[in-house]
């Protein structure tokens, strides 16, 4: 999958005293984008964690704030995989105001694949296609 778009509407509770979105909420929006990206590629986080014994631990996250988002703005969160290996995945995010198309923030998150005991593992082959990896048998 090239990229996926998810939309959210800024809630009043997400804004600060200045009337703009509080900075930590952008990280939450990145998670919304990531979960919806996975769902669109056929990978439910719930199933992945419960049935597949695969967890994605955030090992790094970054957000660059470009323009303020305000209460009731509709925000498009574009999410794509920058890089995936059998050990982890790097997602990138672009957040834009739907009405103006103005970029409000961009960021990334890096994740390590873990098992149920939170030990690092190699990505099980059953998940290769969702993360854009080729099966070893296909090589």
Q: What is the mean pLDDT of residues 66-89?
A: 97
Handedness of CA 78, 97, 62, 39 (dihedral sign): negative
Residue 16 annotated as catalytic: yes
Catalytic site residue from 16, 51, 72, 115: 16
pLDDT in tens, 121-136: 999 998 898 898 887 6
What lies within 8 Å, CB to CB, of 78 at 6+ separation is: 3, 4, 5, 33, 93, 94, 95, 96
Domains and CATH numbers, the chain: 4-124 (3.10.129.10)
pLDDT band at 6 (very low <50, low <70, confident <90, very high): very high
Give this prediction's pTM.
0.91
Q: What is the pLDDT of residue 46?
A: 83
């Amino acid at each position: 999958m090239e990229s996926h778009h998810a939309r959210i509407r800024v809630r009043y509770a997400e804004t600060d005293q200045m009337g703009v979105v509080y900075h930590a909420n952008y990280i939450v929006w990145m998670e919304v984008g990531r979960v919806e990206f996975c769902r669109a590629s056929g990978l439910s986080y719930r199933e992945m964690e419960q049935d597949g014994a695969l967890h994605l631990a955030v090992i790094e996250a970054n957000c660059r704030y470009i323009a303020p988002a305000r209460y009731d703005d509709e925000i498009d969160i574009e999410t794509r995989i920058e890089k995936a290996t059998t050990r982890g995945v790097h997602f990138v995010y672009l957040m834009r105001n739907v009405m103006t198309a103005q970029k409000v923030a961009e960021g990334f998150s890096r994740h390590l694949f873990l098992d149920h005991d939170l030990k690092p593992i190699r990505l099980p082959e059953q998940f290769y296609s969702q993360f854009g990896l080729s099966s070893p048998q296909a090589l």
